[in-house]
A and B are shown apart, each in its own frame.
Chain A
Amino acid sequence: MSSRSNKSLICISCPIGCHLTVEYDKDNLREENIKISGNKCSRGITYGREEVLAPKRTVTATVSIASEIQRRLPVKTTKHIDKVLIFELLDNLYSLKVKPPVNIGERLIENFKGTGVDVVATMKLDR
């Protein structure tokens, strides 16, 4: 016997925030078994599936920078990263020390732990 489960989620892929109902089989977690309703666009399906299979987030944070303008440089991951890896990624970021000039999009960490996710600067600081 398969056991269908229900989960209500809110899609956070865009500010609209559709209320999704995700139906899935706990004992048989496969992408094609996950049924999603309430989404206004296809990104809602991707989000609902991921939340059940392997939740991921974009991480934004700051790292130390020796700049005259401000003391922290804002950064972000280039893609969503597994939720379980967030704090390990932050430990890596907090040990970085960046020197200006730095531009938006400049890579600070490449392919974090083989995930294919980079960390890039999100602010231009010239000095």
Chain B
Amino acid sequence: MREAVFDTVVVGGGAAGLAASKIIAERGYRVALVERENRLGGILNQCIHNGFGLHYFKEELTGPEYAQRFIETTAGTPNIEVFLETTVMDVKTSRADNNNSGKGSTNSPGTKEVFCYSSRYGVLKIITKTIVLAMGSRERNRGNIGIPGTRPAGIFTAGLAQRFVNIEGYSPGENVVIIGSGDIGLIMARRMTLIGARVLAVIEIQPYPSGLTRNIVQCLRDFDIPLHLSHIVSRIYGRDRVEAVDVTPVRNGKPEMEETFKIKCDTLLLSVGLVPENELSKKFGVKINPETGGAVVDAHMMTSVDGVFSCGNVLHIHDLVDYVSEESIAAASFACDYMEERGKWPAAEQFPTVASSNIKYVIPNSYDPEINNRFFFRPMIVKNNAKLCIRMENEDKEQKTLLEKRLLHVQPSEMVSVNIKSERIKEFLRDGEENRLVFSIQ
């Protein structure tokens, strides 16, 4: 077995892993960037549409272009060694690092062993101080939504179809119905139209689209593709290949079966969401947040396992790659601080963040009053001119409003971020109390 020693192992070479590696290497640490595929870039390689980079690079790029900007600066840095076609299989931490289980090995505190498998190197063991988890996400599939009917060929997840069309160069079918109005499905509705297929309908169970507004405009309205909100696909027909689907409206949570109509089609694309890819993290005891499917992280983006950080889609699903880069840069900087301040870490006491009315989750799960905190959260409602309210809550139930802000437009598909300065938080902090920071939208 080959062995190597690095300061940090970054697992996954997508947008998150690339940004994290760059920052850590620039701070002078040696990074092993481990990627399962035969190239860097992750999901960006198949996202050939534009709309990436407006926040981060202040210009509009396609996915591969956005990736290339990072690949050039990252892969050229002497402190980074890239391991391609290499999969991280397991991690062994020391017992002292693993706060919530006895799973760690007898490694000395702070030392981790990362076990990889690759066709090039065989089994590889990397000994390291810190790990950045950046494994991205995978797609929900038919099993996750349970549609009755036959199991013919012609059913794909939208992301897989995207890979077929954009990388491998063949079309999954000619007459397409898309289930779910997630961004990948919307992007694929346009993509299939541009390669000459007919997209007959997009079916969404919710009363509002789950993808970004601009994708509804650019991908559906532009090509007059019907979007059926509050509808479900209630049946799939076809023995060898999909032949048709039944579509049924839903009112007050109940399918109105007598209003069912049939659409003839040969292909179904499922765009019913992404889930963070945390099989590896769970294996070595990283605590998972049921609301996000990603790790629970503290104010320094550190997971429940000491020295293990998480960022990008493996932490929570992002709709904008710009936020992935930004979050990963933050996580990487904290990983560096951690290595610099070993022994004194964590520097200050942290307090919990809480998602309240109309908010699904807040990342990170705690805040550090000594730093300027940046929070990401996902609304659960669609509303114009909504009011964001952040309060400090303590045992006596007395609540103090720390921040109130008008949000022009909120919807579940668009993550919101907000910064709160250290000084502002300290004004409200009370000694010996829980100091919960409660987020809500009205």
Contact = CB atoms under 8 A, between A and B. Distances in A.
Contact of B62 (A9, A18, A60): A60
User: Top 8 nearest A-B pairs by Cβ distance?
Assistant: A71-B169, A74-B48, A123-B64, A17-B213, A12-B214, A72-B169, A122-B62, A70-B167
B214 A74 contact: no
Contacts of B39: 69
Interface of A: 9-10, 12, 14-15, 17-19, 40, 57-62, 64, 69-72, 74, 76, 83, 86, 90, 104, 122-124
Contacts, number: 75
B214 A10 contact: yes
Contacts of A9: 217
A57 B218 contact: yes
Interface of B: 39, 45, 48-51, 54-55, 60, 62, 64-65, 68, 165-169, 194, 212-214, 216-218, 222, 320, 384, 408-409
B168 A15 contact: no
Given A60-B62, A69-B39, A74-B166, A14 B218 contact: no
A15 B169 contact: no
A72 B62 contact: no
Nearest to B168: A71
Nearest to A71: B169
Contacts of A123: 45, 64-65, 68
B227 to A, nearest CB: 14
Contacts of A15: 51, 54-55, 212, 214, 320
Contact of A76 (B62, B169, B216): B62
Given A74-B48, A104-B65, A122-B65, A14 B168 contact: no
A49 B169 CA distance: 37
Contacts of B384: 19
A72 B235 CA distance: 35
A122 B67 CA distance: 10
A62 B409 contact: no
B222 A74 contact: no
